[in-house]
């Protein structure tokens, strides 16, 4: 499964490790500056090596992973834990869960338009 003698392109590794659904999405994120190794932006051709710390911005989530093994082919979801260690703080996942819970303002059918007070509360939650 692992090829420790030589590295693999980061775009291919991100796809193989299931951080992105397609390799082209990984390339787009890399070119957009959303992927960093050791706090430095990388190019899609950069090789990944064991013990590299990779920071990835996936939509709202800022994910930090440490490479355990270098893989060339996409792995099954069960094997992902053997490919990288997730170093993302627990607070980051909690923040994302909170944002998902309050993403849209839900109103019961027939409740009418929000009052001025309710609208201010909704706007305050959206600013978080």
CA dihedral of residues 99, 105, 109, 114 (deg, nearest 10): 150
User: Contact at 8 Å (CB) between 85 and 66?
Assistant: yes
Q: Average pLDDT of 53-76?
A: 93
DSSP three-state, residue 60? coil
* Average pLDDT of the segment spanning 118-125: 82
- As a whole number, mean pLDDT of residues 36-43 equals 93
Place of tokens 């992902």: 80
Query: ∠54-56-58 over CA atoms, to 5°?
Result: 160
Encode pLDDT of 66-111 as tens digits. Answer: 999 999 999 999 999 999 999 999 999 888 887 776 665 666 778 8
Q: Alpha-carbon distance 111 to 56, whole Å? A: 41
The predicted pLDDT at position 111 comes to 81
Provide the pLDDT confidence category of residue 2 given band limits of 50, 70 and 90: low
Question: End-to-end distance of the chain based on CA atoms, in angstroms?
Answer: 42
Structure tokens at 113: 């338009």
Cβ–Cβ < 8 Å for 41, 57: no
CA distance 28 to 35: 10
Closest CA to 58 of 19, 99, 18: 19
Least confident of 18-32, 40-54, 109-123: 109-123
Calculate the CA 34 to chain-centre distance. 9
Give percent above pLDDT 70 in the chain. 89
């Amino acid at each position: 499964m692992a090829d420790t003698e030589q590295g693999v392109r980061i775009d291919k590794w991100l796809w193989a490790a299931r951080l992105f659904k397609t390799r082209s999405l990984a390339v787009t994120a890399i070119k957009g500056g959303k992927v960093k190794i050791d706090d430095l932006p990388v190019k899609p051709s950069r090789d990944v090596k064991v013990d590299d710390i990779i920071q990835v911005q996936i939509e709202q989530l800022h994910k930090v992973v440490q490479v355990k093994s270098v893989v060339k082919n996409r792995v099954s979801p069960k094997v992902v834990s053997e490919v990288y260690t997730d170093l993302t703080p627990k607070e980051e996942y909690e923040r994302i869960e909170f944002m998902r819970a309050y993403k849209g303002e839900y109103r019961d059918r027939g409740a009418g338009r929000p009052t001025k007070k309710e609208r201010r509360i909704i706007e305050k939650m959206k600013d978080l």
